[in-house]
Amino acid sequence: MSIRIAALAATLGFAVALPATAQTRCADYVPGPKPQNASRDYVGQDLDAIRDQGFIDIAVYDNFRPFSWRDGDTPKGIDIEIGRIIAADLGVEPHFLLVESGENLEADLRYHVWQGDVIDKRVSNVMLHVPYDSDFACRVDQVVFTGQYFEEHVAIAYKLADYPDKPPVPAYFRFDDVAVENDSISDFYLTSLAGGQLQAHIHRYPTAQAQMSALANGEVMAAMGPRAELEAFPGDGIVVTEPRLPGLAKSKWTLGVAVHTSHRDVGYAVDDAIAKALEDGRIARIFTEYGLTYSPPER
């Protein structure tokens, strides 16, 4: 999953905050020519077509616990459950496409939402687990970002026995070993912190599961990453905290859905379905059932 995590870091901006400059949203963005919508397949399907066919195509990331993965041929995870809520509200069946992450988020949206890849032009009606960022949305005007359902936070996992008095903070990692996912926000942040003084104690792993295994086995004293991904792999005596992260530009971000800009009716319907599930507690209960902390989004 390191490609997906690196793409997220690039989308949200470099991990360490730079001096702020007063600027109107999207002021530095110059739109390019809009692509010609040459065929129905190219732009997806409108809401009436989805209801007529009786199913909705939903793209989710593959091999991405706790949000979406395969158990044999059965898709599982939080995003799968949210996709089922969307489909049920529209009165159709969900068809899940478990996709690999591309070189960046723009590529994922191009391949799975508004154009299709060079071999298979098929696009999905909806893509889940898409981070919302106002400035990024200016650059990708082929897509509507809506349906926010969760706010992810950067956190630190550790063993209570190792830090009995108070939870660790990043400054501790000048001396204590910490696990991060390779090329992630946490990796970029800790690497640049304190003029690089933490470098010798940063251990990089390909997945959150590998991070948490290293913590459980005593290879490191802490693991840093998105809270839900850390909590997905619990261990004896391991707890998760959200300390202050000085200098981190984006310690939390909102996740939602993406649909093609030509089919805003789909976006409105999906957003309504998610809003109802937020209001009646169904989405919060999904996180609880997976043993995770739920943080509602700002909508």
Q: What is the mean pLDDT of residues 122-139?
A: 89
Reply yes or no on whether the pLDDT at 34 is more than 50.
yes
Please count the other Cβ atoms lying within 10 Å of the Cβ belonging to residue 279.
9
Q: In this predicted model, what pLDDT tens digit does every residue of 226-246 receive, in sequence order?
A: 999 999 999 999 999 999 999
- 248 beta partners: 16
Percent of the chain having pLDDT more than 90?
Answer: 73
Q: What is the pLDDT of residue 35?
A: 52
Nearest alpha carbon to residue 127 among 6, 266, 298, 276: 266
Q: What is the pLDDT of residue 32?
A: 57
Give the model's pLDDT for residue 42: 45
Q: Is 141 exposed, middle or buried (0-12, 13-18, 19+ CB in 10 A)?
A: middle
pLDDT per residue as tens digits for the range 90-118: 999 999 999 998 888 998 999 999 988 76
**Tell me: the pLDDT tens digits for 175-221?**
999 999 999 999 999 999 999 999 999 999 999 999 999 999 999 99
Give the DSSP H/E element, type plus range, for residue 256: strand 252-260
Tokens, residue 139: 């650059």
Average pLDDT over residues 11-21: 52
Three-state SS at 36? coil
pLDDT score at 298 = 87
Which range has the worst mean pLDDT, 26-30, 113-117, 149-153, 232-236?
26-30
Q: Give the pLDDT band of residue 1 (cuts 50, 70, 90).
A: very low
Q: Are 237 and 161 in contact (CB under 8 A)?
A: yes
Kindly report whether the global pTM for this prediction surpasses the value 0.85.
Answer: yes
Identify residue 262 by its one-letter amino acid code.
S
The domains found in the chain, sorted by start residue, are 2-15+43-151+251-289 (3.40.190.10), 153-241 (3.40.190.10)
Does residue 39 surpass a pLDDT of 80?
no
Measure the CA–CA gap between 112 and 103, rounded to whole angstroms.
13
The pLDDT value recorded for residue 174 is 96
- The alpha carbon dihedral of 169, 173, 177, 180 has a sign of positive
Q: What are phi and psi of 226, to 5 degrees?
A: -60, 135
> Considering only CA atoms, which of 6, 23, 14, 5 is closest in space to residue 248?
14
